[in-house]
Structure 1
Amino acid sequence: METIFNFFKYIIDLGVSVMMPIIITLLGIIFGKKISVSFKAGLTVGIGFIGINVMAGVMMNAITPVTEALVERYNFSLTATDIGWGIGSSIAWGTPVVPFVFIAIIATNILMIMFNLTKTMDVDIWNFWQPMFIASALYLTTGNMILAVLSAVINMAIIFKLADWTQKDVEEVLGLEGISLPALQTTGWAVLGYPMNWLLDRIPGINKINWSTENVQKRLGIFGEPMMMGLIIGVLLSAVAGMPISEILTTGVTLAASLVLIPRMVSLLMDGLIVISEAAQEFMSKRFEGREIYIGLDAALGIGHPFVLSLGLLMIPITLILAFILPGNKVLPLADLTALPFYMIFAILPSKGNLFRGIITGIFIATITLYVAGFAAPIMTNIAADIGYQVPGDVQQITSLAVGTQWYSWIVYYVLSLFG
């Protein structure tokens, strides 16, 4: 068991840009493609991920000072500090539940595919940290490893089904052919996004409002293009934060570049994935007539669309305002504000890109996220202490918006904890 875990941990520690080419190459060979074709597809995927990560890093480096300036300028004072998904994932990967949960997730996915309970083949190993975090919280609370592993099985079984259910929209709207997004913090919100869109569709007047990418571009001309939207959002956010002119302009141009270049990096990555997706379909059709398989990948692919990225950026000031005015909220959003595009994909995808509906649904998502992140704060603080993470002296509790976005997994946590 330990040898298997150490092997996978070694691969994961190489980073997604190295891990994914290895996985994609192996999958290509398993599905009957030549080694050369599989390796080229894997390398293309790796290059695409590097491009996405570089541009996402550039965007986050530009927007982080803006969010910090907003917090400082408007005197947000809350007790649970958002330290970001990066530290949250590191905490999850450092607990005793990891090897058991890791194997349980893979086994769950294989069994569900074998018995035709899912079409999603999840190769997004890095994001296993999401069910691992809840499993770690449950183990810390109950001391019961079986309950901890069971929570991961339940959470991932649900997300595999949601990934299947939403795949056609992911393909049609985001252009991700044969790809599904089995991430708790992203696709879990489909449960809210689709009913909200259904409801808004039945409210007179509201159902006529359509701020789609096409409509915005048509009405605004050049100012509706992705690069101009990025420029305008960047300039407005940094101006409201009271930043110097030079930083306002730099932020605007950087976000403009992000809205142009991230979709191009996603397109490059898709060139490699299509090879494996088609091979998987051929492989399954020979062995299971009529079966269809989706490749489950990181939601980073989803933020490449301009309306997703635009909504995520617009939700930064809205989330900060919500943190200040929501009664009983104790979470200070900070590090994960730049990750809001990941959490907002299913705020806007059900309406096929209607930014107006995306903002309304996004407000509900942000509200729930803040409250759940507040609930998780003492648990995350205790887990961090258990594995030796040093909480900064001026911080009472730590949390993460990413942990808050895993909303239904906390329901599973609460129910199973009753048996512990």
Structure 2
Amino acid sequence: MTDKGIQQGLEQDARRISERIPDKMTKKAILDVRLRLQEFVTRQGWSRKRIGEMIGRSPSTISLFLKGEYKGDAEDLSKKLHQLMESCERRQRRPHGETFVSTTVAKKIFTVITETEAFSNSPSDPEGKIGIIIGDGGHGKSHCLRQYAEANKNTVYVELDDAMTSTLIFAEIAKRLNIESSGSRATITRRLIEALYNRQIIIMLDEASLLSVRELNLLRQVIVIKARCPLILAGNRYLVNTVMQPTTKRGCESLDQFTSRLMCILDLDEMAIDKDGGLYTAEDIRKLYEYGGLKLTSDAIATLRKIARSARSGRLRTCGHIIAACHQATSVQKIGQINTQIIISAIVQLKLPVRVFLPLAIKETYAEDEQAQAVKAG
């Protein structure tokens, strides 16, 4: 597939959006937006607060607009609301797969969580245990952790960021537990220990790659030892590199205590390399990416598996981008299936950085596709 079908499909979708946004909002157009918003709120079940947050306005402003009593710049507000509804409805119209698919990766992650919980706070060893999940971007770690937390109410899920201090980390855990989160670190951790003690609440910290040795030790002391709760940490290889540093290194003495409570390390990067029954089976790929009437050929499945197994390729996230783009191409819809040539064409047309990290076989196909396009262009 050497045409620009995929790129053109995305461009046509963008043009349809811009054409539906009027340059000038007449009184009738504003009324139409208000009536449409009333239907939208009912259909989506969104609150005034949520809508206001998404366009940078207060809930009272949205309420006044819905009542026809807004005295401010109604034209500007109508445009913002119009764009919001268009964006939301456009996403809903697009074909998409299941919200969550129980893949091999998901099953392995869930196993780590349940085993870490099962071995925590036993009669013979009344302390929590630690489980670590390692993988670069695109494995679907965060999605799996959020899904587990949603399905299991004895779980607290917190997504960390680089700006969070240890005090903020504990404060965020407290918020998830509906505990007062203000005060010093000592005050917050005391409240946490009192609230968590012997309750077997699973604490899951995502994006934990840059936790320092000191922060890891604080989590061990507060969550694992004093509160006796299981602790799950998920991140990339930086996390396991920090944990496995020599304890003889200055400042790393506490790691011996940390690793002694470590139940298991699930290394998704390492497992992905295994081609014989490793991660991302053909069945997983079909469940994830066969939807909306488009079938995957056997060679397409093999190509997507290669992408998913390749380090720094974006893995499943990149596969998802490719398949979503294919659904926008009329030429692909007519064929009714996605093959390797279409996947490579999508990578070329969208200029995805994934090609740098792909296996040699795919790079060669990519180069051939580029050469064919160059010849066609003259």
The TM-score range, normalised by the shorter chain, is under 0.3
Q: TM-score, normalised by structure 1?
A: 0.23
Give the structure with higher Rg (CA): 2
Greater helix content? 1
Q: Which has the higher contact order (CA 8 A, sep 6+)?
A: 1
Q: TM-score, normalised by structure 2?
A: 0.25
